[in-house]
Chain A
Amino acid sequence: MTGQAILVAAVQVGVVVALAPVLAGVTRQTRARLEGRAGAGVWQPWRDLRKLVAKAPVRATGSGWLLRVAPVVLLSSSLLVAALLPLVGAVSLPLVPDDLFVVVSVLLVGTVAVALLGLDAGTAFGGMGSSRHMTIAALVEPTVLVAVYALSIPVGSSALSLIVQARLDSSAVIASPVSLLAVLALGIVVLAETGRLPVDNPSTHLELTMVHEAMLLEASARDLAWLELGSWVRLAALLGLVGNLVAPWGIDTRVSAAGLLLGVAALAGKLVVLGGLLGAAEVFLAKLRLFRVPELLAGSFVLAFLAVTASYLVG
């Protein structure tokens, strides 16, 4: 059992690392096509990463150890999330259950690492990005935990593999209003946590509108590569989770070679579909003004809260 769980976790980490840049590529490619462009192809993020790792980083003498450490922390935290979540297989490790509270706090480790990185350089833009990033992270938190709460009510546990398993067993749960509200709230959270539109514009070049990007302005070469890969893995893992909550089919529940292959294929399919949807949605969305973001997040909190109260009224 333990061996199988470790195998599943290792497969998940490998698959997510391989797929995360492709997911970013799919999102950009979809956007490019909808804008009438030809696009750089879905493998472009992989080319970017390969090149960044082979460059010599430039570090200002004033910047401390954080520029070296924070990218590694972000990437490791994202990989840990990929290992914990039920993406390819719904089997949890024996002493480390895929408890959503733990997953959320591991994500926060990456968030904090990047926020400190933004402050470390001592530049105006870094501090600005860090401040905005943490404000959004703080306001997202209630929605995350209340949405987790709503999802955990039907199974009486915050362990994700149990939640996904329950959805696989009775698909009626998925279409229930409680679940729809909670997943919708979680979807908004994923957009905010991963710095996508309408909360943050990942392709902006204008420093004053940046949130996530502004903190990375000082990172170069491999430091930047880990930061980019870390955010992509985070996006892929969270989208994979949303995918498995909406459509749990294909996930492996009793570890076997065929089941794992099917699980990997299902995950890849879900990620491509969600990445395409995300890219398409971003064509239709404009970035919200920073001070309108709290309204969006308050709205998503209400959705999550309704999901919890509805679960007592409906079920």
Chain B
Amino acid sequence: MSLLRLVALIRRTGTVAEPAPPAPDPLPAARPLGGSVQLRHVDAGSCNGCEIEVAAAFGPVYDAERYGARLVASPRHADAVLVTGAVTRNMAEPLRRTVEATPTPRLVLAVGDCARGCGAFAAGYGVVGGVADVVPVDLDVPGCPPEPQVIVEALRRVTGR
């Protein structure tokens, strides 16, 4: 795409982010984070439905970044571990390690019904259980998959903005 066409596209598009709904009640455990939450995403055995919704939550329309949430590349940088999917046998130990590798104070968010231990794969032979069966969970996000605005709302409870 040429430079001028890109400029024209940017001008035509303008801002696509939807106006922010009123802020939900902040989570007390997230208060020390002070409006900045770095998230490490762990796919513990998801069907990728939740991944698409998480990606949409961080896309331009819902723009979760505007509330101070950001996805990062290492749990060492993270304040919260965002887990999607039922925890499979092979992912139980890596999930434990990821939470262990996150500096305190830290939170664990279980996103989607599978992560809450009740989704379509809950009784599968390769599934250990929900996230709460492996590591302590601070916040649940229901839905199969949860809609982006629900995910954003949960993130806003963590960032407090």
Question: So, do A and B actually touch in the complex, CB under 8 Å?
Answer: yes
**Partner-B contacts on A (CB < 8 A):** 32-41, 44, 47-48, 50-51, 54-58, 204-207, 210, 213, 216-221, 224, 283-284
- A224 near B34 with CB under 8 A, answer no
What is the interface of chain B mostly: helix, strand, loop, or mixed? loop
Q: Check B60 for interface membership: any CB of A closer than 8 A.
A: yes
Q: If A56-B104, A57-B103, A58-B102 touch, does A37 touch B60 (CB 8 Å cutoff)?
A: yes
Binds A, one of B74-82, B118-126, B129-137: B74-82
In the complex, which of the residues A47, A210, A218 contacts B35, with contact meaning CB atoms closer than 8 Å? A47
Q: How far is the CA of A70 from the CA of B66 in the complex (A)?
A: 32
Q: Check B20 for interface membership: any CB of A closer than 8 A.
A: yes
- A36 near B36 with CB under 8 A, answer no
Query: Could you say which residues of chain A place their CB within 8 Å of the CB of B13?
Result: 36
**Subset of 13 A-B contacts with CB under 8 Å:** A36-B15, A36-B17, A37-B15, A37-B16, A37-B65, A54-B32, A55-B104, A205-B73, A216-B74, A217-B76, A218-B74, A220-B77, A224-B77
Q: How far is the CA of A205 from the CA of B60 in the complex (A)?
A: 17
In the complex, which of the residues B16, B20, B38, B70 contacts A36, with contact meaning CB atoms closer than 8 Å? B16
Query: Could you say which residues of chain A place their CB within 8 Å of the CB of B32?
Result: 51, 54
Q: How far is the CB of A146 from chain B (nearest CB, A)?
A: 29
In the complex, which of the residues A36, A51, A56 contacts B60, with contact meaning CB atoms closer than 8 Å? A36
Q: Check B143 for interface membership: any CB of A closer than 8 A.
A: no
Q: How far is the CA of A58 from the CA of B36 in the complex (A)?
A: 19
- A40 near B3 with CB under 8 A, answer no
Q: How far is the CA of A58 from the CA of B103 in the complex (A)?
A: 6
Query: Could you say which residues of chain B place their CB within 8 Å of the CB of A56?
Result: 103-104
**Partner-A contacts on B (CB < 8 A):** 3, 6, 10, 13-17, 20, 32-36, 38, 60, 63, 65-68, 70-74, 76-77, 79, 101-105
- A33 near B79 with CB under 8 A, answer no
- B6 near A33 with CB under 8 A, answer no
- B73 near A38 with CB under 8 A, answer no
Query: Could you say which residues of chain B place their CB within 8 Å of the CB of A34?
Result: 10
Closest to A206 in B: B73
Q: How far is the CB of A226 from chain B (nearest CB, A)?
A: 13
Q: A36-B60, A56-B104, A213-B73 are in contact. List 11 more A-B contacts (CB 8 A).
A: A32-B63, A35-B60, A36-B13, A37-B17, A40-B70, A58-B76, A204-B73, A205-B73, A216-B74, A216-B77, A221-B103
Closest to A57 in B: B103
Q: How far is the CA of A238 from the CA of B59 in the complex (A)?
A: 32
Q: If A217-B73, A218-B76, A220-B77 touch, does A40 touch B10 (CB 8 Å cutoff)?
A: no
Q: How far is the CA of A283 from the CA of B93 in the complex (A)?
A: 39
- A220 near B103 with CB under 8 A, answer yes
Q: How far is the CB of B10 from chain A (nearest CB, A)?
A: 5
In the complex, which of the residues A40, A57, A205, A210 contacts B65, with contact meaning CB atoms closer than 8 Å? A40
- A33 near B76 with CB under 8 A, answer no
Query: Could you say which residues of chain B place their CB within 8 Å of the CB of A207?
Result: 73
Q: How far is the CA of A176 from the CA of B71 in the complex (A)?
A: 45
Query: Could you say which residues of chain A place their CB within 8 Å of the CB of B60?
Result: 35-37
Query: Could you say which residues of chain B place their CB within 8 Å of the CB of A38?
Result: 15, 17, 20, 63, 66
Q: How far is the CB of A143 from chain B (nearest CB, A)?
A: 25
Q: How far is the CA of A69 from the CA of B145 in the complex (A)?
A: 45
Q: How far is the CA of A47 from the CA of B13 in the complex (A)?
A: 30
In the complex, which of the residues B6, B63, B68, B71 contacts A44, with contact meaning CB atoms closer than 8 Å? B68
